[in-house]
Structure 1
Amino acid sequence: MTTVKTNNMFTISQIVLIVTATATALISGLFYAWSCSVVPGLARVSDSTYLEAMQQINRAILNPVFFLSFIGTALLLPLSTWLYYGPGPNARFWLLLLASVVYLAGTFGVTMFGNVPLNDALDAFNLSSASAQELAAQRARFEGPWNNLNIIRTIAGVAALVLIILACLSPAAETSRPAVVYR
């Protein structure tokens, strides 16, 4: 699709790309802010407080707003990539393809196959009947691995966002898809 805009007109590809960039920025910002504020804050509390806080946070984050940006990005990135697929060299397509792979593997995949299983194991842990030693052991099993996975998904999310920004700044090639223009 052509990416030329005139008189405040945007193609569907451009609109999808703007929404994709916004969703990616939101989810990457969530993981970044978590790393900068929540992780250091929770590192200062007792084992029982830490485990209870993480159980409650992991339950509370399962909401439509989170899913909109987390799953939305996983759907929008491949869609944006497809919309910019075309004949000949096309930097925008390749940058979006790379952003899709980085996000799907490094953010979405790490969360689903790393953080979520840790969250599920923590959720099944009964805090009220655990001894101080059991609380300390559960925290040790959870905190380090979870934080390391969060660092990976944060870096991947930010890298995907940078690739999307670069794609937005690069010229897009014409595609064979018909242009749909919205005002």
Structure 2
Amino acid sequence: MTPVKTTNMPTISHIMLIITAITTALISGLFYAWSCSVVPGLARVSDSTYLETMQQINRAILNPVFFMSFIGTALLLPLSTWLHYSPELNARFWLLLLASVVYLAGTFGVTMFGNVPLNDMLDAFNLSSASVQELAAQRARFEVPWNNLNIIRTIAGIVTLILIILACLSPAAATTRPVVYR
């Protein structure tokens, strides 16, 4: 009888999980860095500078590199979860399912239904014709709610990343294929 040896060659599901972890780390890192660097810096500037800067940043961030990690994670997490589904519902599957829910609700959902409407409101605001009082009022309507939503999506992104790391470290369903050496 020929000896059978199993191999741990990377599968499509493993490769997708690694890519998912990378995109999640990128987007979570962006929101984290924003929270601990940009927010405190912008808190120190005048109303007109703050509003103009936020308008420009909100326009500039709409680019393929941002979308790759932000939307990429929203697509890759459920795909990775599905790829790790098996009849024996292992820990990796459950961690990825939870990560998908946390990201889709807490990061993607909060951004789309919270931050984006605030960004659109700010983008429609005409800075050049606004009085000092109108600038202060616009900043008050925007800054605190936007920053609070950013904290939520940052925490959700970090929790998502932790869940993905735990999924990477937990055993998957038996997917190794026997390799016959002759």
What is the TM-score when the length of structure 2 is the normalising length? Answer: 0.92
Distance in 1, matches of 2:59 and 2:104, equals: 23
Distance in 2, matches of 1:5 and 1:62, equals: 43
Distance in 1, matches of 2:91 and 2:157, equals: 20
How far residue 5 of structure 1 moved from its aligned partner, in angstroms, is 5.2
What's the counterpart of residue 21 of structure 2? 21
- Asked if residue 86 in structure 1 is aligned to residue 86 in structure 2, the reply is yes
Q: Which digits, 9 at most, give the CA deviation of each residue in 1:125-165, with x for residues without a partner? A: 00000000000000000000000000000000000000000
More moved, 44-53 vs 9-18: 9-18
SS at structure 2 position matched to 1:10: coil
Q: Which residues of 2 match residues 14-163 of structure 1 at below 5 A?
A: 14-163=14-163
Q: Which digits, 9 at most, give the CA deviation of each residue in 1:72-121, with x for residues without a partner? A: 00000000000000012400000000000000000000000000000000
**Which of these two proteins has the greater Rg computed from alpha carbons?**
2
Distance in 1, matches of 2:152 and 2:73, equals: 17
SS at structure 1 position matched to 2:22: helix
Distance in 2, matches of 1:5 and 1:75, equals: 29
What's the counterpart of residue 169 of structure 2? 169
Q: Flag as ranges the 4+ runs of structure 1 deviating above 2 A.
A: none
SS at structure 2 position matched to 1:44: coil
SS at structure 1 position matched to 2:55: helix
Distance in 1, matches of 2:7 and 2:163, equals: 22
Query: What is the one-letter code of the residue matched to 1:55?
Result: Q
What is the TM-score when the length of structure 1 is the normalising length? Answer: 0.91
RMSD after superposition: 1.4
Judge conservation of contact 1:86–1:174 (CA < 8 Å) in 2: no
Judge conservation of contact 1:5–1:11 (CA < 8 Å) in 2: no
How many percent identity over aligned positions? Answer: 85
